[in-house]
Amino acid sequence: VKDAEDQLGARVGYIELDLNSGKILESFRPEERF
Q: Domain residues of the chain, as ranges? A: 2-33
| pLDDT mean by block of 10 residues, the chain; 34 residues | 63 62 61 56
CA angle 4, 26, 10 (to 5 degrees): 30
Q: Residue 3: phi, psi to the nearest 5?
A: -60, -50
Q: What is the pLDDT of residue 3?
A: 75
Are the beta carbons of 5 and 13 closer than 8 angstroms? yes
The 10 Å Cβ neighbour count of residue 16 is 11
pTM: 0.18
- The helix (H) or strand (E) run that includes residue 5 is helix 2-8
Q: How far apart, in whole angstroms, are the C-alpha atoms of residue 27 and residue 23?
A: 7
